[in-house]
Amino acid sequence: MIQAKAKGQDAFNFWMYLRGIDANEALQSADLETARAVYQEILDELTALNDPSVNNKIAVAYHYLGMVAQEQRRFDDAIAFYNKSLHICEDTEGFLQCCYATITKLRSW
């Protein structure tokens, strides 16, 4: 991951894309622990950037963690993740863009 960041934004975006595919495939195949771990890894990397321009991506990561928790029947955790996602969306200038990104991700299911 450090090497990807060193090579720039394009490499980081490609890493995010590949890890997102891994997480989505794990979630769709009910490998919930793998999905949770990969979504958490994505969230950790995005949060470490400390860049408000990725807040919509952070919100989507929280949303996916909520979906995993819901599938695992950890409903209190799911609600907490969904609320974090909504809170980030409400606090960003691109609220509608954030909502659209979330809806687009859900449609890909």
DSSP the chain: -HHHHHT-HHHHHHHHHHHHHHHHHHHHTT-HHHHHHHHHHHHHHHHHH--GGGHHHHHHHHHHHHHHHHHTT-HHHHHHHHHHHHHHHHHSTTHHHHHHHHHHHHHT-
Q: What is the CATH number of the domain that holds 93?
A: 1.25.40.10
The count of domains in the chain is 1
pLDDT one-digit tens code per residue, 75-103:
999 999 999 998 888 776 666 666 666 66
Domain holding 36, by residue range, is: 2-107
Query: Is a pLDDT exceeding 90 seen at residue 28?
Result: yes
- pLDDT band at 104; cut points 50, 70, 90: low
- pLDDT band at 5; cut points 50, 70, 90: low
The whole-model pTM stands at 0.78
